[in-house]
Structures are given as structure tokens and as C-alpha cells.
Structure 1
Amino acid sequence: MPVGLPEFVENPENRCPVLLLLDTSGSMAGEPIQELNRGIAAFKEDVLKDTKASLSVEVAIITFGPVRLIQDFATIDHFTPPRLEASGRTPIGEAIDCALDRLEARKKTYKANGIQYYRPWIFLITDGAPTDTCWPLAAQRVREDEAKRRLCFFAVGVEHADMKILAQIAPPERPPIKLGGLDFRSLFVWLSTSMKRVSSEKIGVAVALPPVGWGQITT
């Protein structure tokens, strides 16, 4: 008889974790936060179209500021898109540290339950610049983990985001991307398509990602 957490006994598929690290500071109020909410809903809708991906892709959401884990890792069929609201500052460094710690904890849970997993993705989306001072150390953690192939880190700038700072956070081989307008829907459909491609392959196999048609890569 299988032993482990019920979620893994019922669904022993390899997991494909993605952590959304979302800026919900006051500057995101109005249309930006509305479009972000619509984009997250589109992500769930699109992943659910793929039976294998819906069993493999796990999503967690951390918002800032303040930094909050508002959705712990869950497969798409158990994920209810939240209704995000905008307020507060932009503690990007603290948020990244929280995301990296949560990801490590989740990987330990996978291992303890005999679940294999694809390289996790962290998707940072912000329209500003850090209001905390710990972001350089957090950026160093990101680059070290990326170099050791522990994760794939993506940084996306919205509207007036400080792309120069995002370039210091993002790994050199994956520079930040400036979102075209507020086209969050295209971004999240791209993310869904990418997750479906990854989860359809064996773990460790390099996957060609779709073109980034929703933004401009900045260097």
C-alpha cells in the first residue's frame, strides 16, 4: 500500500512546479492588477486543456508587498486563481528570498514522497524597483541556483519597471523581458504552453520554448 501525502498517493505524476512572484504594490492598482488577474485565470484555463500537464504542473503564488504566500503549491485542478488587489511597497529582495525558501521546502516534500520533478520555474513580475535593501543578496542566490541548475528564473518588467535592476537580478543567460503594454494574457498563455512542453518530456530533456511574442528582451 502506498505511503505518503494523499496528494501524491492519488497523483504520483512527475511534478512541474512554477512559482509566480507577483508585484501587487500600490502602483499596480487599476487596469494593471485587473489584467494580471485575467492573465492568471487564462493560465489555469489553458493548462487544463492538457490532461498530462494538468496533473503535473503545480503553481504557487507569492505576492509583494507585503510579502505573502497566498497560494501554496497545488496542481492546476486544485488551483483557484486569486483575486489580487494592489497596495503597499515593493520588497523584491524579501519576496525572492521567500520564493527560493518555499521552493526548497517543496523539493524536500517531493523527495520525501518519492516524487520526481522537473526543474522549477520562478516567474517574477514587477512594475517598479525594489524598496528593500536586501535585493542584491537575493539576486546572488538566484544566480547561484540558476548556475547549479536548481531552477529557471524569469524576470518580467511592466510599464515603468526598473529594467536595469531587473537585469542585475535575472541570470545573465536569461535577461529580463519588458511586457508589451499590459498583455498579461499572452504572457500567461506562453507560460502555459511552455509548461505543457516541459511536462510532456522526460525529466532533464532540453525543451525548445515558444517565441516570446508578448514582450521585448532587454540587455
Structure 2
Amino acid sequence: MVLDVLPCYLVCDVSFSMSDHIDEVNAGMREFRGVVHADRHATAQIRLCVVVFAESPLVVRPLLPALDPAEEITPREESGSDFGSAFTLVRTIIERDVNRLKTQRVQVRRPLLFFVSDGRATDPAWPAALARLTATTLCPEMVAFGLGAVDQRALGRIGSSRVFLGGDGVRLGIALASSVARTALRPEHV
């Protein structure tokens, strides 16, 4: 039996404007891990990578089984939210990860990118980096989750598949779990 793997990328804004919401992000990640733990099939299938960004992006967790514990995300004392550099880094990471998974003889599902931010980018050229990411053959399913005083227009451009808003009472862990379940049910492979 060939293992079916769903690569998921949680991309989280940790700039100063998000500092009041990082505890909610960490709680959501723990809740998501609990959901994965409860489903044996999901435990084997789902891989999670975590990228944080403010003025620059950083991989804080490489693509590993989602059940593996993740380090707590911490805010940065940086006022910038460079969406473009985050999208550029994630594009490179997805390409590398999918190629590595294919060498392991597994079926790789279309990746899921779960973008967490208030949507207030400080780099005006970010739409071009988003377009390069979504124009690839490995274009991920794009979901946005807004926290705080959100720019809904920007999040709507990013979350082309779906947009959740924490202000509407939606919990991050549940939104991530439902997005993963929705993507996992589709028969798309790369």
C-alpha cells in the first residue's frame, strides 16, 4: 500500500501587530495536533511545516508528521510584515519538500498553505510573489486566517480557497483541521 501524504504549511505573521494573537496561534496548533492524534489515518498522512515572518521569514519547523510536537511560536519586535518574502520562501520549500517526498515513493497530495495574519502587509510588491507561488505546478490550496483588525481585502486575495476570521468566533485549530480535511478528501496529487 502506497502512503498518501498531505504537506501542510502554516505561515504565520509574528510582527508587532500580531503580538497579542500569538497565544491564540499556539493554542490553535495544539488543538490541531489533538485532532490529528484522534484520527489514525490523519496521523500517517499529514505533514506540517511552520514558517514565521515579520521583516523576514524563517522556517521554525521543517515538514514533519503533524503529530510531532512543535515549538511555541514567539512574536518578534519588528513592525514589518513582508508577505512577499514569506511567499517566496514557501514556494522554494514546497518544491524541495514535494521532490523529497516523491523520492520516498509516496503519493503526494496538493499542498495546503494556511496563512495566519492580520493581512496588513508592509511590502507593496507582495502580490507579485503570491502570483509566482500560485502559478507553479505545485500551487498550494490557499487558506487565510485573519486575527485582530484584519485587512479583509488582502486576506481575500491570499485565501483564494477560503478565508476564516478569528473575530467571527472561529478557532484557528478548528479552521486548520477543517481545511486539512477538505483538502485530504480531494483526489488531487502532484
Q: What interval of TM-score do these two structures reach, taking the shorter chain for normalisation? A: 0.7 to 0.9
Alignment partners' CA distance in 2, 1:24 and 1:12: 37
Unaligned runs of 5+ in 1: 1-10, 206-219
Does the 8 Å contact 1:14/1:116 carry over to 2? yes
* Structure 1 position 153 matched with structure 2 position 142: yes
* Structure 1 position 40 matched with structure 2 position 32: no
2:84 corresponds, among 93, 96, 105, to 93
Does the 8 Å contact 1:94/1:134 carry over to 2? no
Tell me the SS of whatever aligns to 2:4: coil
* Structure 1 position 113 matched with structure 2 position 100: no
Show the counterpart of 2:177.
192
Does the 8 Å contact 1:125/1:155 carry over to 2? yes
Show the counterpart of 2:122.
131
Deviation of 1:26 after TM superposition, in Å, equals 1.1
* Structure 1 position 22 matched with structure 2 position 8: no
Does the 8 Å contact 1:24/1:85 carry over to 2? yes
Normalised to the residue count of structure 2, the TM-score between the two structures is: 0.85
Alignment partners' CA distance in 2, 1:194 and 1:158: 17
Tell me the SS of whatever aligns to 1:60: strand
Unaligned runs of 5+ in 2: none
Alignment partners' CA distance in 1, 2:146 and 2:74: 18
Q: Deviations over 1:113-166 (max 9, x none)?
A: 211111110011101411224302112124424xx5732011222221222223
* Structure 1 position 102 matched with structure 2 position 93: yes
Q: Tell me which structure has the larger Cα radius of gyration.
A: 1
Tell me the SS of whatever aligns to 1:29: helix
Show the counterpart of 1:215.
none
Structure with the larger strand share: 2
Does the 8 Å contact 1:139/1:170 carry over to 2? no
Alignment partners' CA distance in 2, 1:42 and 1:170: 21
Show the counterpart of 2:156.
167
Deviation of 1:91 after TM superposition, in Å, equals 0.8
Normalised to the residue count of structure 1, the TM-score between the two structures is: 0.75
Show the counterpart of 1:178.
165
* Structure 1 position 67 matched with structure 2 position 52: no
* Structure 1 position 204 matched with structure 2 position 188: yes
Residues 1:192 and 1:165: Cα distance change in structure 2 (over 3 Å): closer
Alignment partners' CA distance in 2, 1:34 and 1:124: 16
Identity in percent: 22
Number of corresponding residues: 186
